[in-house]
Structure 1
């Protein structure tokens, strides 16, 4: 029986796509290779978000060829699209998939009669990513992704419903809806046939009971009142957590980034969500060191983080990406200044996290239990670990539930990493 290994760099979309191909090849008779053994087939899903990602892709391609010189390598993802000719020159590369819509063709031409329209399992036992959309056409001046995934398309809603149904029936209790630009879901459909993201979430709620939906990244202008109203109406079914990229708190920097929303609009929309939802959790991406960023610009970003009260901030240092307008902008910020600003912004983010979590104490949250520890576990001995609906991990005493339970918890404390509390009720549907 031939063996298979997968390697994935980058985003949730890539993780989903790798799993789709993996399950297809398993149906073709492959089996997963042992951890330290070479494989007959490698599926490598690449990323090109930074120069470092490109270099890592080339390094991995060389390593895979060394592991098994007779092995076959299928390469896909954003770096494969951007540098297809170069990728084809690496030893062992048998196929380069430059359009993710061709994944089903890859399986069909290998002889798979019933090509799957989605996945039935995922790497994590109780949380699964579901890709519903692909492509982005926004002109952000620092981003290469619209050049490698410019075609915007959405999966058919019945296909997504069927996939979610299979995942829930397989024991998954959280479905994370993801896409290259999730908020554009449905925009490629004729207006009379269009179902937007809120409509999709509403349809998925009706698929089954006993699971919850989490939304991945959305632009702030895509967080509609209708979407938030749905979250309010179904607090146990749609997580009150929104990941909304900020990038910068400086109006001048945002203009040079070619971001669509002003800071005033960003503040207003976040305030609106906070009016409609009880203690919503906001997470975000923030970039430091964009060309021309001054101390005043950076301070504005810190103030924005403090004002909104993010539970999590992913801090990035600007990396000039060849082929993007920002790479050729004047006043590039020195690396030592970027590092210092990243350190300071991370401190601000941690303060914001502590303030937000302090407001959650004595409140009720929903936790999906995932992993059990033992008595010798260094982090939390004899606990069951999980993720709260507000994107903060939790640790509960063993016996308060088992992996796969969705439990309501009254929070009593936070140890700097995990929420703690007492279980009020459990939906033991695993």
Structure 2
């Protein structure tokens, strides 16, 4: 499995599918990623290597990478309909992405946001949300199989149609799951009701939130089409800091036309908030995105991008 926790959940869904539809031939399933050029390259390289290493296996490939690049391989089958799989997997299936007592629940798929750098809306344009009653039922079954920790994940939780706060209320009142956390939490999900919910039920939420901000520069945030400003980032994190939470984030360095001053603003933001984890991504232009054209006009030198990636890691709180 490559990429995000949504991919991990979908790999478990496919495992469920294989159990329900057994094959006489041995199968390897590869779930690919295309968020960055590097991620896509590594995903497809792994498929090629497996194809050579296991010529008698059926290798089923899914995910966000450009699967046409490996369609010619003789023992490879492309699976494009991952969203048509059962949205949940039986709690009997262990989630190897996390640990035995953690259950990964995908509540949402698809994204129609317009972030200028992101290829995901091209790969996952169809919106889907797990109804609250199904989520509650699944979590209660997971508890019966000794799961103690629920990880809520989705492609873009802002677009969860049944409202994230309503889901949390139902999970808190209709299940006895001891611990709840989130794979990745968009800043726009964090309103006062959300803050009140997680703080008034503090013992049932992990004390860590991963909230991608991408940049601390208003100019770059606007160019990225992120739906918030630097001040909104600071205001939201300050409210959460006052409640004693720790944070992780995603930062993109080397975005087109990112100046030294833009990067300084990102550094200052990281220092002000104090992240315990920072996933640093070197900008890579993705096909048919607005940022791909920006990169042609205003590229940042790779040496500068690499230097900034190293510098930003210095702001991780140990």
Change beyond 3 A, Cα 1:89–1:207: farther
User: Is residue 142 of structure 1 aligned with residue 117 of structure 2?
Assistant: yes
8 Å CA contact 1:129–1:175 kept in 2: the answer is yes
Partner of 1:67: 53
Find the aligned partners of 2:68 and 2:213 in 1 and give their Cα distance.
35
Measured after TM superposition, the shift of residue 135 of structure 1 is 0.8
User: Is residue 53 of structure 1 aligned with residue 10 of structure 2?
Assistant: no
Q: How do 1:283-294 and structure 2 match up within 5 A?
A: 283-294=248-259
Picking from 184, 202, 206, the partner of 1:235 is 202
Per-residue CA deviation, residues 392-422 of structure 1 (Å, 9 max, x unaligned), is xxxxxxxxxxxxxxxxxxxxxxxxxxxxxxx
Partner of 2:185: 218
Per-residue CA deviation, residues 143-189 of structure 1 (Å, 9 max, x unaligned), is 11111111121012222222212222111111110000122212xxx
8 Å CA contact 2:111–2:120 kept in 1: the answer is yes
Find the aligned partners of 2:3 and 2:74 in 1 and give their Cα distance.
23
8 Å CA contact 1:201–1:213 kept in 2: the answer is no
Partner of 2:80: 98
Find the aligned partners of 1:273 and 1:346 in 2 and give their Cα distance.
22
**3-state SS in 2 of match to 1:206:** helix
Picking from 22, 26, 32, the partner of 2:19 is 26
Structure 2: runs of 5+ lacking an equivalent:
none
Find the aligned partners of 2:90 and 2:154 in 1 and give their Cα distance.
15
Q: How do 1:303-342 and structure 2 match up within 5 A?
A: 303-329=268-294, 330-342=297-309
Per-residue CA deviation, residues 8-46 of structure 1 (Å, 9 max, x unaligned), is 111101111111211332344569xxxxxxx81111111
The structure whose residues are more often helix, as a share, is 2
Which structure's CA Rg is the greater one? 1
8 Å CA contact 2:253–2:309 kept in 1: the answer is yes
**Greater RCO (CA < 8 Å, at least 6 residues apart):** 2
Change beyond 3 A, Cα 1:210–1:291: closer
Partner of 1:246: 213
User: Is residue 119 of structure 1 aligned with residue 90 of structure 2?
Assistant: yes
Partner of 1:300: 265
Partner of 2:26: 40
8 Å CA contact 1:168–1:211 kept in 2: the answer is no
Find the aligned partners of 1:170 and 1:52 in 2 and give their Cα distance.
37
The structure whose residues are more often strand, as a share, is 1
Count the aligned residue pairs: 312
**3-state SS in 1 of match to 2:204:** coil
Partner of 2:63: 77
Structure 1: runs of 5+ lacking an equivalent:
1-7, 32-38, 105-115, 187-194, 355-430
Q: How do 1:162-241 and structure 2 match up within 5 A?
A: 162-186=137-161, 195-209=162-176, 211-241=178-208
Structure 1 vs Structure 2 CA RMSD: 1.9
Partner of 1:383: none
8 Å CA contact 1:97–1:103 kept in 2: the answer is no
